[in-house]
Structure 1
């Protein structure tokens, strides 16, 4: 948020894990899925905040402060199929080779929830600000030796579809993007700015 210029407006940043079962939530359309996951994470975090002590809540939400909860999710779509985090090396090999045949898309949501003492309002999804970014990535063929090194390193197993365009073994084979690199890496700065500004304006 500091990079986006909100450090003075919003103050400190706190990270709270949602700890939800993401695979229990399914929607037919990728944009619907990531939007629903973003809202489900917000619901789970708000429930955790409700269980905080008064002292913990005051530390998290000082009186008079603008407190916004940012949640979201991202999936990779390729040839019409939603790609999960890969569970095997063969899955990574197939995905990486397939990316050269047709563009992959990242579909990422951002949900901004204004947090206040009126808990009912926080759980009211109509009072939240959400949006979805879709970015297309076009690849040239990634050499097999690069794919094998990615598998050995292991980080690709933690990325949807095994997609890591910022990795030095992958970046030279990214032909072009229809969108932005920050969105591919998990969070669209433009979308965050748009939604945060809307949330702050509503509370002015």
Structure 2
């Protein structure tokens, strides 16, 4: 990464960090982009250059979140199905404390801001829908499915719904004030149950061919 790109990344991070601080303090709907720009000492146009909407300021890692499941499918091992790959990736995130899961202190305040804002709730739904759309296209490409084959869309819907339910469970427990370690353990147990159930119907779907055969 060159110096110019490093400066851009630093500016983006500074804007996002400042925005989050204001959102947590005042609530999403009571903060303007101009408020963020003044705090960081940049122009409003500069903020919009990095974040096209105010919702993008709050969910500044949304593209990373959207790509989680498609990336897991693309990275699956030989003979590994899509379900197995997503399961392995999710459990690894749990074990490694992936930040986007929200299993750390301070996340209750984050989710309370979301609960108070219809705009942020709508963006969450959009992110889920976009994840399903990108995953379906990834599965179609990975399996060579025809355009009229419904399985990539069906499998994407099932995988996205399972992942969404697990994240909703984390959010609920965090808002209840449960200890992050307890939430992690319970979520891991629930994930095992969920993916076991899902595997019953999709256990062989998108399995890579065995190169030895």
Taking structure 1 as the reference length, the TM-score comes to: 0.30
Tell me: higher relative CO, structure 1 or 2? Use CA pairs within 8 A at least 6 residues apart. 2
- Structure showing the higher strand proportion among its residues: 1
